[in-house]
Structure 1
Amino acid sequence: MSLRVLVFDSGDPRFDLAFEEALARLRARDKIPDTLRLWRTSCSVVLGYFRSPGEDVNLDVADREGIPLIRRFSGGGTVYLDRGCVNYSIVMKREVEFPISYLYETVLRGTLTALESLGLSPYLRNANDVVVNGRKVSGTAASIRWGVLFLHGSILVDADLITLRALLKAPERLKPSVDPVKYRVANLLEFAGGIDVGDVMDALIRGYSKVLSEDAYLDEPSGEELDVAGILHRLKYSRDEWNLMLPLSHLVSIEKNVEKELEGLGL
């Protein structure tokens, strides 16, 4: 089997998050094969599906700096992105007994393998935090929706950690159940000088190709992927109602409107 690889971003973080969901939806309909996407985007804050902006983000800083907040379709925590981060996502279909365990325990080895090839010694904490020398360099989130397995994460390579710390709230006191490594972040450049985002992307392609035992090939986004991402961008990811508001019932209402429009396209 072969692993399709997309190295694609739009420059608009809202569209880039919409494209993530488009990949999952199209894989569900067998419109695309298993795909690994690598991308970067401009300065932004990405919220997990269930997260509250006011709890996780210093909203006055985000507003003053004009930094957008975008809610993704998967769960997990809130993260900061900029051009110094390498983001990756993999969408696939597999018949496995425990899908989430498979994603975190088997598929995520692709990221660890990639970093090992760059001379680092990464390991996992809390199932989904990638740690080097006691500092978190990458977080991941997984989703099982529409019958597909989806894993995505962001790797800090040369990110603006000053802005990250100004934007993201850290609790004054951690609950005993919370691992403090979640708030001890670092760029890969602190441990492996001379690497750049291109090196990390190349390593991820090799790492996931090896872990999944599939030859990788580069491809371009299809017209259908861009069209579906455009619909998702218009109805969800460009709207404050999706990005900033809770409760869950409100988000579900927005998703129902999306489903209706996509059904008209046979999706």
Structure 2
Amino acid sequence: MYIIDSPSHDAYFNIAAEEYLLSRFPKEDLFLLYVNAPSIIVGKFQNTLAEINLQYVQEKNIKVVRRMSGGGTVYHDLGNLNFSFHTLLGEYDFMDFSAFTKPVLTLLNNLGVPAVLKGRNDLLVDDKKFSGNAKLARQGKMIQHGTILLHSEMEVLSQALTVNPLKFVDKATKSTRSRVTNLSEYLPEPLSTEAFKKLLTEEIIHNNPAAERYELTPEDITGIKKLAAEKYETWDWNFGFSPNYNFKKGIKVPAGFIEVHLDVEKGTIKQAKIFGDFFAENPIEDLETQLIGVKHESSQINKVLSAVDITQYFGKVEVEEILEAFL
């Protein structure tokens, strides 16, 4: 087994690293550790916009990244440690999460924390979740990865993952919102993320005496950055990959009430209807037509709204006010 400690706090880089390492080490067992700066990691099959508070995320410059595995949405920051096991497919039961969460539980139990694996894939203490885990099978290997909340900013986590449930209706898998907690509330003494990482690494080495540390080479880093730029930093992957959904949102502005309905397929608006009690000098249908084929994304919709005299459709109103109804 190779133990790899990522040198980066960039979520794009670290999520890309998981895929890159599949090809880099097609047969070897790996244990990867990484810590991300504030970011939201969504499951492969989720509708990103239905999982996040977009306005808050944009204001806080929180990165949003879709990972390769299924499961729910999680929040990462510097108070959260992420671990990832890579093994040959078939060596372990794919649906059994216990084998690779056991080192985490053993370490915590030895520290006096009564942590347990409960349900399908969650680690809990006092029935509060501090770790979610996910899996995928690809290229003959299996990856199981998880989070460990140590001293994350819970207020940011709560705000970043809060969405108006009336805004979206879709068939994508919604994340299960669980009561979550930081392990810092249960540890006998304060532990930094780095200190906990060191302890977990020691636990892995204790269970795998032949394990070797591997440092990413300049070639590895170049390869990971290339994959990140081509895939994990793109709107098409992080948002456009989302399943089809119907968007609905209403806002109140001085010009009146405005309600937007959008049918979105793979991130692109296929149909738009705008309702309300505003007064339109020009047919609102003209604006609706111009929205068809546009990405359901702030900058693209802003271009459409800015290219017309918006007051001809909604009366005395600013583009920024109307834009809010589309996001």
Contact kept? 1:120, 1:191, Cα under 8 Å = yes
Distance in 2 (alpha carbons) for counterparts of 1:110 and 1:194: 20
Distance in 1 (alpha carbons) for counterparts of 2:90 and 2:180: 35
Aligned to 1:85: 80
For each residue in 1:68-108, what CA deviation from the matched residue of structure 2 results, as whole angstroms up to 9, or x when unmatched? 1110111111010010111111112254363332xx12222
Q: Report deviation, 1:226.
A: 2.1
Matches for 1:56-95 after TM superposition, within 5 Å: 56-93=51-88, 95=90
Distance in 1 (alpha carbons) for counterparts of 2:198 and 2:89: 25
Number of aligned residue pairs: 236
Equivalent position to 1:130, from 123, 128, 132: 123
Aligned to 2:203: 207
Deviates more, 1:85-94 or 1:75-84: 85-94
Point out 4+ residue stretches in structure 1 off by more than 4 angstroms: 247-251
Aligned to 1:155: 148
Largest Rg, 1 or 2: 2
Matches for 1:175-186 after TM superposition, within 5 Å: 182-186=177-181
Matches for 1:99-248 after TM superposition, within 5 Å: 99-101=94-96, 104-169=97-162, 182-192=177-187, 193-211=189-207, 213-247=208-242
Q: Report deviation, 1:199.
A: 2.9
Structure 1 residue runs of 5 or longer lacking an equivalent are 173-179, 252-267
Task: Give the TM-score, by structure 2 length.
Answer: 0.66
Q: Give the percent of matched residue pairs that are identical in Structure 1 and Structure 2.
A: 27
Contact kept? 1:44, 1:68, Cα under 8 Å = yes
Contact kept? 1:46, 1:71, Cα under 8 Å = yes
Contact kept? 1:135, 1:181, Cα under 8 Å = no
With over 3 angstroms needed to count, the CA separation of the structure-2 counterparts of 1:80 and 1:24, relative to structure 1, is same
Structure 2 residue runs of 5 or longer lacking an equivalent are 166-174, 244-264, 268-327
With over 3 angstroms needed to count, the CA separation of the structure-2 counterparts of 1:228 and 1:241, relative to structure 1, is same
**Amino acid aligned to 1:6:** I
Aligned to 2:5: 7
Q: CA RMSD in A?
A: 2.4
Deviates more, 1:202-211 or 1:64-73: 202-211
Distance in 2 (alpha carbons) for counterparts of 1:118 and 1:217: 25
**Amino acid aligned to 1:57:** I
Contact kept? 1:111, 1:208, Cα under 8 Å = no
Task: Give the TM-score, by structure 1 length.
Answer: 0.80
**Amino acid aligned to 1:9:** P
Secondary structure, aligned partner of 1:244 = helix
Distance in 2 (alpha carbons) for counterparts of 1:100 and 1:224: 34
More strand by share: 2
Distance in 2 (alpha carbons) for counterparts of 1:210 and 1:78: 32
Distance in 1 (alpha carbons) for counterparts of 2:13 and 2:190: 31
Contact kept? 1:88, 1:152, Cα under 8 Å = yes
